[in-house]
Amino acid sequence: MNPVDGKEGPPDVCIIELGGTIGDIESMPFIEALGQFSYRVGPGNFCLVHVSLVPVLNVVGEQKTKPTQHSVRGLRGLGLVPNILACRSTEPLEENVKAKLSQFCHVPISNIINLHDVSNIWHIPLLLRDQRAHEAILKVLDLQFVGKVPRQPKLVEWTERASKFDKLKATVKIAMVGKYTGLSDSYLSVLKALLHASVAMGRKLVVEWVPSCDLEACAAKETPEAHKKAWKLLKGADGILVPGGFGDRGVQGKILAAKYARENNVPYLGICLGMQIAVIDFARSVMKLPGANSTEFDPDTTSPCVIFMPEGSKTHMGATMRLGSRRTYFNVTTCKSAKLYGNARFVDERHRHRYEVNPEMVPEFEKAGLSFVGKDESGTRMEIIELPNHKFFVGAQFHPEFKSRPGKPSPLFVGLIAASSGQLETLLQPSPIIVNPKPVPKPINGTVGPKKTMYPNGHAKKPLDSLVYFANGNVIHT
């Protein structure tokens, strides 16, 4: 019932994704719940889109429909009947394959949507539009018309963005320093945020994965080749990003990465732990506190730069994190971060952490030159750090990647890409303000009537009874 697009009133359609594979025991309770839900709300209020794989045997070269047939049969056996099939494949589906799927899965050919490989993932909505997937969904939910005007997807801006993505030539190279670099999905949100920002700044993103463990001094003896390669990648990057994480493995390598960026004026963005290790490096290198550390890694440190949250509990498992959207106030309005956020007085960003900068050491840090430009409403939690004389050295305790979108990239990620591609100064220049007054609506009979809210679904008992649901069959990751 709660809108998530910033508009007032309850939404017309709720979209739910159930991942995994049909038949897996983990998803059984959710399958049963959705089966009961579909029966309760009735026809016209529930649309099931089943995602499945249509593989090709390289030897034969034939598109095989059996995986989809079996997953649909399994889905039916669990009480759910798919209205639409979304078929993943490397190449466009042949017409005879669609006809076969329609016959054996009992789904109209017009409701069989093909999601084949494309040059970039932003072409997928255009692919769905070209196959009239929106019409199939709206027909199932009886939402085809509003005031007798056909609904058409508004994808002009999206089409331009997808086309722009394909035409990017100039590259920007970002070194991602972490300990899970062997599995890129571990940093998927960060990767997407980098992609959104790089396209917005007209650059083709190149991510160099740098295992933080390989940057450490011990790696020079144990794995000299990996050590040499890691440092070569780091030094060859246009910008450095250290994402969030937990545990002490690879932390020293991350600290070295932050130190390299600070000393060599290389653009740097630290997120959550990435901000904390930047603070630790500053304490060790600039403030000459060699024992500086986080109590997460060294509980007995003599210079605890980062400490466990005062209200947290170390004995109770679960619910010990500072989670969700929190407000950050800018106390330095001329800083780069505030300018990137459009000179806002405050921002709301999402958090996920247990440790934070020690507020008792903040005066010492600021005296040494580290600026805490963003704090919470109490002024005791440090949210954003900056080095004023650096090209771009920013750390955020929150996770800005969580709110990044293709059409609205995260400001801090835009700042990193802009600084790494030599566009930051231009980006931070104040743009001229052009005032275009909106026309005043003409009164009817002397008054301007209130805008009426229209609920297009005649079947719905409640505004949220219309639901589009995606249940994955055989899943492929690209």
Is 360 noted as a catalytic residue in this protein? no
399 tagged catalytic: yes
Active-site residue (options: 227, 353, 390, 399): 399
Rg value, the chain, Cα:
26
The one catalytic residue in 105, 213, 272, 305 is 272
Across 152-171, b (16+ Cβ under 10 Å) vs e yields eeeeeebeebbeebeebeee
Active site residue 401: yes
Kindly list the catalytic residues: 272, 399, 401
